[in-house]
Amino acid sequence: MAKKKTGARITIKLRSTESPYTYTTKKNKRNTTERLEIKKYDPVVRKHVLFKEAK
């Protein structure tokens, strides 16, 4: 029998701290309960900046 999917992965928005640019990604809500903070490339300011999880 196939396993039942519980749907623990959700789609989130990552918003740049220096511009209005956003990325979308998925995270496992069961394993990562706190908000994500990732350094990624921001094409608006043309450098790597901190992206935080938006509401």
Neighbouring residues of 38: CB distance < 8 A, sequence distance ≥ 6: 14, 50, 51
Per the structure, the count of domains in the chain is 1
- Is residue 47 a part of any domain in this protein? yes
pLDDT band of 55, cuts 50, 70, 90: confident
> What order of strands is seen across the sheet that includes strand 37-42?
22-28, 9-16, 47-53, 37-42
Q: pTM for the whole thing?
A: 0.81
- Is residue 23 a part of any domain in this protein? yes
Q: Give the CATH number for residue 36.
A: 2.20.28.120
pLDDT at residue 51 greater than cutoff 90: yes
What's the confidence (pLDDT) of residue 8? 86
- Is residue 3 a part of any domain in this protein? no
pLDDT digits (tens, 9 = 90+) for 10-37: 999 999 999 999 999 999 999 999 999 9
What's the confidence (pLDDT) of residue 17? 96
d(CA 52, CA 40): 10
Q: Provide the 8-state DSSP code for 29.
A: T
